[in-house]
Amino acid sequence: MSAYHPLTEQEAIEIASTLDGFFPSGANLSSREIGDGNLNLVFHITDSVSGKSLIMKQALPYAKVVGESWPLTLDRARIESEKLLLEGELAPGLVPVVYKYDPELYLTIMEDLSDHVIMRQGLIGGTRYPKFADDISTFIARTLFFTSDLGMNQQEKKLQVKAFINPELCKITEDLIFDDPYTDSPNNSFDPAIRDAAEALWQNEQLHLEVAILRDKFLTNAQALLHGDLHTGSVFVTPESTKVIDPEFAYYGPIGFDIGAVIANLLLNFAGQEHWITDAGQRADFRQYLTDTVRDVWNLFDRKFRALWQEQGLDRLASSTPAFKDYYMQRLLQDTIGFAGCKIVRRIVGLSHVVDIDRIPDSAAKEKAQRLALAIGTSLILSNRKAQSIEEVIDIALSQANN
Amino acid sequence: MSAYHPLTEQEAIEIASTLDGFFPSGANLSSREIGDGNLNLVFHITDSVSGKSLIMKQALPYAKVVGESWPLTLDRARIESEKLLLEGELAPGLVPVVYKYDPELYLTIMEDLSDHVIMRQGLIGGTRYPKFADDISTFIARTLFFTSDLGMNQQEKKLQVKAFINPELCKITEDLIFDDPYTDSPNNSFDPAIRDAAEALWQNEQLHLEVAILRDKFLTNAQALLHGDLHTGSVFVTPESTKVIDPEFAYYGPIGFDIGAVIANLLLNFAGQEHWITDAGQRADFRQYLTDTVRDVWNLFDRKFRALWQEQGLDRLASSTPAFKDYYMQRLLQDTIGFAGCKIVRRIVGLSHVVDIDRIPDSAAKEKAQRLALAIGTSLILSNRKAQSIEEVIDIALSQANN
């Protein structure tokens, strides 16, 4: 018999109180459920005496976003906790510390990051994060290199592929990102005002070719252990700190998918700034900050990944063939650009949107932002296999914004 | 405690005699161990009364080819039996029937194919197999299509990837095919007469780039469930029948690797005919038969795979995007050519050779055959990413033979 059941707040407190040595004796614990409620319960447990706190995240056996009719394996909680622990080893300080994982309750007990904000919210408020590009590029370079055939034992990697087979969470991505937006799917959701733009996606055969190629890579290219959902809602930040959370979509996939997620969400915010910063000069400044960040994320990733390869590469042939390194990094850039485009498009016409754009109250500004995002996204997809430089991404964003 | 131990012939007979309903009562069984002894015991069990017979294949926990110092997981016997059963479902009549698998003894009991010959031996003897191209193209098209994301449920495919993770057997391929031949490895083995040609492989940076790209695909591209070792020594034939055996190298990899193996071994025989057919006209005829077979294998595969995709494709986007089909098939052709080249090269300078060439008694003819095979192999590797048609493979083989 399984001990699993969704915890009450009182049960969460009881479990937290027994965590070895965390809360001092005499602690007075209280709990608040702070999950967005889509897939998980998230309890914020605080001790009013010591001020100490922690987070308890428990997987729910269904996705509430579409009702209980979309069951989801609890095994994703194991995947998330194992991935978090691995990220903590490979990129120390850039993920919450895991205190404990309870496999029967599918419950991860971890560091409270309440002093951080969700990056998406911070960007909407016009805040800049000067450490972000350096931190996230370290995170992606190290977590991806050391789980790839370049940076880890290739036989152990295969066992890791096996441990992170994640069919149900991958299916969400396969459907919502790589299928629905390109056909008249009942899962799609978009403002009637941009129906013409959505229908244009359904008709564009060149776009379908590129998306089919990217989809195929997502389905078959077991390059490295991805975070799998690395948008700005999965990043907690302060100006001094970056913490990546929520790796429940982790699986072995194409490296560009993680990098593309970061870049896509910076560009979605870029599009949303149509509204959030009203002063034209300030808006242009912040957009330049965003495109500078896109450039920095790629360039720092490229530099760090190459350095790791140079210093710690384990594949003899790959490491001793300079032309292969250049070929490989160029393919990563091209994949990054293609996946970034797919991740932008789905946030405008697909099931799941981003508040950077969806919460724009003025309908004209919102439509303009949506069309801008779609134009950037489709341009990125259409240009991905020809791309030579990250500057092309910035050129596309700026030229579409100035259209 | 494990019941596993390598069987004696007497034990093999006892197990065979208990196989439900196979041998009639009063059977008089005898056993002969007929394995090549590298990796497995193979018992040929016959009943002198009824004339019925079967094969029992038991995995050994080491590879004898390099002594007992190279341990090998017995799990490959499970992989082999599961893959054989799956092949029997997907390509009925083209593999031996599996009567029983014993997971404790890592023992597969299956159909006796003594009325067939190993295709490599038949080709050396100048025999033509008019059904082979049709049969093998059916085998590869159906076993690969129905295990790919195009032809099976994509979530079930991920579980199948997991079931066929095969690190140790893959490592043999990774080392012996995609690494050793391109460096001065102690695993290499080649005639001193062609040392210059071997050293040229170690120095050729363009070749290293192409091999590194192909190696990367072998490591990361989980396209379909491969046979993994589909050379002409893994095919039993008569002029009327084709049976593919020995899928213990099965894993999820790039489709072109299986097709390339078939083509490589036809071309190795092509090179070996330098000696086996002494009459120039007859040799040219048989070589044309071999290149016709190369052409037929690819073209029939291409036609059958496309037909399956058209009629039974399960991926909406891939199936509704004609340009993607052409892109995909062209990539398969290019991969096929690249992998064929790698498989030829390793049989000349790497650890494991083929008797088509190694058993040529005349040293001058043998050297000529080796140099011809190497020239064909390296040309295929160098041209793979530009290739547009299978005719280019045939042009390479014929032009090198006429050099």
Q: What is the pLDDT of residues A67-84, one digit of tens each?
A: 555 678 899 999 999 999
**Confidence (pLDDT) at A153:** 98
| Residue A314 near chain B (CB below 8 Å) | no
Amino acid of residue A58: Q
CB of B275 within 8 A of CB of B352?
no
Longest dimension (CA), chain B: 66
B86 appears as a binding residue in the annotation: no
State the CB neighbour count (10 A cutoff) for residue A71: 11
A176, A271, B383 from B211: Cα distances, Å: 36, 42, 11
Q: Give the Cα separation of A267 and A282 in Å (integer).
A: 17
Asked if the model's pLDDT at residue B37 lies above 70, the reply is no
**Residue B305 burial class via C-beta count within 10 angstroms: exposed 0-12, middle 13-18, buried 19 and up:** buried
**Confidence (pLDDT) at B310:** 98
Cα dihedral B31, B37, B40, B43, rounded to 10, equals -10
Asked if the model's pLDDT at residue B56 lies above 90, the reply is yes
ipTM for the assembly: 0.96
**Confidence (pLDDT) at B73:** 86
Q: Give the Cα separation of A264 and A272 in Å (integer).
A: 12
Q: Among B28-42, B282-296, B362-376, which stretch is predicted with the lowest mean pLDDT?
A: B28-42
Asked if B221 lies within 8 A of A216 by C-beta distance, the reply is no
How far is residue A289 CA from its own chain's centroid? Answer: 20
Asked if B154 lies within 8 A of A219 by C-beta distance, the reply is yes
Mean pLDDT confidence for B350-379: 96
The three-point CA angle A108-A14-A106 to 5° equals 25
| Crossing angle between the packed helical segments B322-349 and B280-312, to the nearest 10 degrees | 140
B19, B86, B133, B214, B343 from B260: Cα distances, Å: 38, 21, 14, 12, 8
CATH architecture of B9-111: 2-Layer Sandwich (3.30)
Most A CBs within 10 Å, among B79, B165, B203, B332, to test the A interface: B165
B35: confidence class by pLDDT, cuts 50, 70, 90? confident
Asked if the model's pLDDT at residue A327 lies above 80, the reply is yes
Asked if A317 lies within 8 A of B213 by C-beta distance, the reply is no
**Confidence (pLDDT) at A69:** 56
From chain A, pick out residues whose CB is under 8 angstroms from the CB of B206. Answer: 323
**Confidence (pLDDT) at A37:** 65
From chain B, pick out residues whose CB is under 8 angstroms from the CB of A182. Answer: 317
Shortest distance between the Cα of A374 and any Cα of chain B, in A, equals: 20
Asked if B183 lies within 8 A of A212 by C-beta distance, the reply is no
Shortest distance between the Cα of B163 and any Cα of chain A, in A, equals: 8
Mean pLDDT confidence for A167-196: 97
Residues 6+ apart with CB under 8 A from B318: A212, A215, A216, B149, B150, B309, B324, B325, B328
Asked if B220 lies within 8 A of A221 by C-beta distance, the reply is yes
**Confidence (pLDDT) at B196:** 98
State the CB neighbour count (10 A cutoff) for residue A97: 16
CB of B74 within 8 A of CB of B106?
yes
A35: confidence class by pLDDT, cuts 50, 70, 90? confident
**Confidence (pLDDT) at A212:** 98
CATH architecture of A9-13+29-111: 2-Layer Sandwich (3.30)
Going from N- to C-terminal start, the domains of chain B cover 9-111, 117-401
A213: nearest CB among B170, B215, B327? B327
| Residue A66 near chain B (CB below 8 Å) | no
A65: confidence class by pLDDT, cuts 50, 70, 90? low
A154: nearest CB among B154, B174, B209? B174
B21: confidence class by pLDDT, cuts 50, 70, 90? confident
Q: Give the Cα separation of B224 and B160 in Å (integer).
A: 10
Shortest distance between the Cα of A13 and any Cα of chain B, in A, equals: 37
How far is residue A73 CA from its own chain's centroid? Answer: 20
Asked if the model's pLDDT at residue A2 lies above 80, the reply is no
**Confidence (pLDDT) at B181:** 98
Shortest distance between the Cα of A293 and any Cα of chain B, in A, equals: 30
Identical fold between B9-111 and B117-401 = no
* SS3 state at B184: coil
Beta bridge partners of B235: B244
Q: Give the Cα separation of A399 and A174 in Å (integer).
A: 30
Q: Give the Cα separation of A129 and A152 in Å (integer).
A: 32
pLDDT digits (tens, 9 = 90+) for A246-301: 999 999 999 999 999 999 999 999 999 988 888 999 999 999 999 999 999 999 99
Asked if the model's pLDDT at residue A22 lies above 70, the reply is yes
Amino acid of residue B31: S
Would you list the DSSP string of B329-360?
Answer: HHHHHHHHHHHHHHHHHHHHHSS---HHHHT-
Q: Give the Cα separation of A42 and A80 in Å (integer).
A: 14
CB of B217 within 8 A of CB of B381?
no
Asked if the model's pLDDT at residue B66 lies above 60, the reply is no
pLDDT digits (tens, 9 = 90+) for A331-377: 999 999 999 999 999 999 999 999 999 999 999 999 999 999 999 99
Asked if B216 lies within 8 A of A318 by C-beta distance, the reply is yes
B229 appears as a binding residue in the annotation: yes
Residue of B nearest to A202 (CA): B317
CATH architecture of A117-401: Alpha-Beta Complex (3.90)
Mean pLDDT confidence for B282-298: 97
